[in-house]
Structure 1
Amino acid sequence: MGTPLTSGSATLPSDAPLSADGDRHFEGLAEKFSAGLYGSPRGALRLALLDHCLPRQLELGGQPLLDVGGGLGQMAAWFAARGHDVTLAEPAEEMLARARQALAGQSVRFLREPLQRLPEAAPGPWPLIVCHAVFEWLADPEAALATLAGLLAPGGQLSLMVFNRDALRFSNVVKGNLEKALADRLEGTGRRQRLTPISPLTHDQIATWAEARGLEITAVAGIRVFQDYLRERHPDEAQLKQLLALERRYCDVEPHWRLGRYLLYTLHKPE
């Protein structure tokens, strides 16, 4: 969680293909993600806020954990360090290879599988599932939540983080993209250079889908409530420390959490 707060950016190849399910996988982008996202102030702040929020939202007791779309392994490392046996599922081969290297010697099992194949590859049932920043890259996130609900054990917890559609709209207005915001043209195609999610989601969608699957929302927080709207694109270290203090203070306070770039949920499956 101690990623340096340095600058960076990440883009997709213009001809990046979608999967057979219509999802955006990130084959060939491990280095861009490592340097451009997690090595940037926004990526470091995201990880620092998860470090703050996850122990407050989840009941953690070293239970086995399924990390869905685990990417480079940051969340797997966080949970493994806290005594969890982690199964990391990731469809992109290069991402998975980097995660294997980073997590060598830790209690982590690796699966090269997309979310849709997990009922066969990792049926569980699982007492704890983590799925962060995955749904926004899926063609059918509602079906994905149904799949994860089926993998969850009675009494289990799902830590779900999604890209916030309302925050994306607000960000476009701040940047002056007024016509785009008015037309509600917020989704990306998954094929262009910018990393614009193909399925940004609203809180109401998550609440409706969770209720339909018998899941209870027990906690919600906004991740990066303020950072993405700053006029200063390259804050110094002193400003970043103040920003982190603000983010921690207001991440789960009404109405601020609703404009977090990501929405972080804990969903509970009743006994």
Structure 2
Amino acid sequence: MVASSHFTRQSVPLSVHGDRHFDGLGDKFANSLYGSARGEIRLAVLDHLLPRMLRLQVQPMLDVGAGLGHMSAWFAERGHPVTLAEPSAEMLVEARRALAGHSATFLQAPLQALPEQAPGPWELVVCHAVLEWLGDPRAAMGTLAELLSPGGQLSLMVFNRDALRFSNVVKGNLDKVLADRLAGTGKRRRLTPISPLTHEEIVAWSAEYGLDIAAVAGVRVFHDYLREHQLDDESLVKLIELERRYCTTEPYWRLGRYLLYTLTKPATTPESR
């Protein structure tokens, strides 16, 4: 895991695009997510799902909003040349450590700059837990579609607004839910996304930008609703098995804290037929 001493503590303003970046929050991000059971479950479920949801071969991969480099490392370990794009300089420092010894290119760049800095077109783009931190996630979907080659695949994971609502009801935050005050402000150290998304939005935007939904799953469909989050090793193993077993099954995938999609760009367009 990433040591928290690598990061400085400071407030993090939104970017010129209204996005939230993670300079000054890398320690909290690493410890609250990847230093916990929920991070272990997330990675274990992704390890289970990605080979099943993607047509994987050794191909260059663009990791958009790569963070600490976990997904890039996963693909690099399987032989993919990876390009990491991440706006936070502090996060990129840790990603370089995670990718030591692998073939990787590092770009300090936000998603909006990638059509110029990493235009591709790419056969494989990964964008996990990014859109919910952007001021305009719909426009970001258009950018991701632009980066894909015909026949290319986008592995997209987004923070599920419906799961956030359900979780707040379970916790007793009834007034917050009634007022629909679910999104974070992006102005404090709390890691509540500023733009949590719904499945219906992803369906609509995919159609708008000419992408097909090839597969969908939920990530952490049970864990976040547990009464007790402190799990012993045996219980964690059992919970991971349950998460993997039901992550693509109705109705459980719809309540995953994250929704994971494989989106594909058609190999031909109506104009080319």
TM-score by length of 1: 0.94
| 1:156 aligned residue | 152
| 1:178 aligned residue | 174
Would you say 1:37 and 2:42 are equivalent positions?
A: no
Asked whether the equivalents of residues 45 and 243 of structure 2 are also in contact (C-alpha less than 8 Å), the reply is: yes
Percent identical pairs in the alignment equals: 68
Letter in 2 for 1:103: L
Give a deviation string over 1:206-239, Cα, whole Å, max 9, x none. 0000011110000000000000000012011111
How much does 1:192 deviate? 2.0
Asked whether the equivalents of residues 30 and 98 of structure 1 are also in contact (C-alpha less than 8 Å), the reply is: no
Give a deviation string over 1:221-267, Cα, whole Å, max 9, x none. 00000000000120111111111111011000011100000000000
Q: Which moved more, 1:232-241 or 1:243-252?
A: 232-241
Would you say 1:136 and 2:136 are equivalent positions?
A: no
Would you say 1:235 and 2:235 are equivalent positions?
A: no
How much does 1:101 deviate? 2.0
| 1:197 aligned residue | 193
1: CA distance, partners of 2:145 / 2:256: 24
Letter in 2 for 1:144: A
Number of aligned positions between the proteins: 262
Q: Of 184, 191, 198, which residue of structure 2 is paired with 1:188?
A: 184
| 2:80 aligned residue | 84
Q: How does 1:201-212 map to 2 (within 5 A)?
A: 201-212=197-208
Give a deviation string over 1:17-42, Cα, whole Å, max 9, x none. 00011100000222332223101000
2: CA distance, partners of 1:120 / 1:15: 29
Asked whether the equivalents of residues 14 and 192 of structure 1 are also in contact (C-alpha less than 8 Å), the reply is: no
Would you say 1:260 and 2:259 are equivalent positions?
A: no
Structure 2 unpaired stretches of 5+: 268-273
Would you say 1:168 and 2:159 are equivalent positions?
A: no
2: CA distance, partners of 1:104 / 1:238: 32
| 2:271 aligned residue | none
Q: Of 86, 92, 113, which residue of structure 2 is paired with 1:117?
A: 113
Would you say 1:67 and 2:51 are equivalent positions?
A: no
SS in 2 for 1:206: helix
2: CA distance, partners of 1:177 / 1:133: 24
2: CA distance, partners of 1:193 / 1:103: 27
Letter in 2 for 1:174: V
After superposition, the CA RMSD in angstroms is: 1.4
| 2:209 aligned residue | 213
TM-score by length of 2: 0.93
